[in-house]
Structures are given as structure tokens and as C-alpha cells.
């Protein structure tokens, strides 16, 4: 089964870019890569997703390696409100199941 590996925690300074890595070396050709984040005492919140190409939205950018065995979530200018647990997730086409990583706790220092 495909799985994702993420660092347990990362620290960054406020207003600096943050690069959150994720390894998914067993990814299959039909797996989408999703990122969600969970702020304290809240449910998870969608951040971004992609299949093969890099993606940008108003929250973040997703850089996907050419071989798709890893990806990086990029927050361009972190704020204190971005402090959360960030989950890298694989989702197979035609399957409801999200394969969640253990998550990276992002700590933002003022």
C-alpha cells in the first residue's frame, strides 16, 4: 500500500517562506497528492492537491518531483495563523480512502 513520510515538526520565522517535504516513494500512477492542515481544536482544512504538475492557489504552492516520489508544500510567507499540523495525503482514483501521513507540526516564531 502507498504511504507518505513527513518530518514530525518544523520551525520557521514569521513572514518567511516554508517548505514542507513529503516522501511517497510507493505512489502509484493514479494517486493524487493532497495536502490538508489542521489548526488546534479544528477539523482538517484543504490546502492544495495535484497529480503530476506543480500547482498554485491562494494558500500555497505544491511542487511535485518529476518521478512523483516526493512533493513539497510551499507557504510563501508564513504567518502565525499558519501554525498547524500539515498532512500529506495520497488518494487513489476511484477510492474514497485518503492515505494520511503522520503529519508535520509547523511552528511559526514571531
Binding mask 14-33 for other proteins (x = CB under 8 A): ----------------xxx-
Binding mask 65-94 for other proteins (x = CB under 8 A): ----------------------x---xxxx
| Residue 14 CB neighbours (<10 A) | 13
Rounded to the nearest 5°, which phi and psi values hold at 83? -65, 120
Stretch that binds other proteins, among 11-19, 59-67, 70-78, 95-103 (CB under 8 A): 95-103
* # chain residues binding other proteins, by CB under 8 A: 25
Instruction: Check binding of 49 to other proteins (CB under 8 A).
Output: yes
Q: Is the dihedral of CA 100, 102, 106, 107 positive or negative?
A: positive
Cβ-contact 83, 68 below 8 angstroms: no
Amino acid at each position: 500500500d502507498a504511504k507518505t513520510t513527513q518530518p514530525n515538526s518544523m520551525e520557521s520565522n514569521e513572514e518567511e517562506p516554508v517548505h514542507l517535504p513529503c516522501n511517497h516513494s510507493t505512489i502509484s500512477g493514479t494517486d493524487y497528492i493532497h495536502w490538508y492542515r489542521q489548526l488546534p481544536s479544528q477539523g482538517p482544512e484543504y490546502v492544495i492537491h495535484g497529480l503530476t504538475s506543480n500547482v498554485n492557489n491562494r494558500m500555497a504552492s505544491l511542487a511535485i518531483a518529476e518521478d512523483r516520489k516526493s512533493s513539497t508544500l510551499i507557504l510563501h510567507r508564513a504567518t502565525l495563523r499558519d501554525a498547524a499540523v500539515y498532512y500529506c495525503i495520497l488518494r487513489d482514483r476511484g477510492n474514497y480512502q485518503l492515505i494520511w501521513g503522520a503529519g508535520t507540526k509547523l511552528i511559526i516564531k514571531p
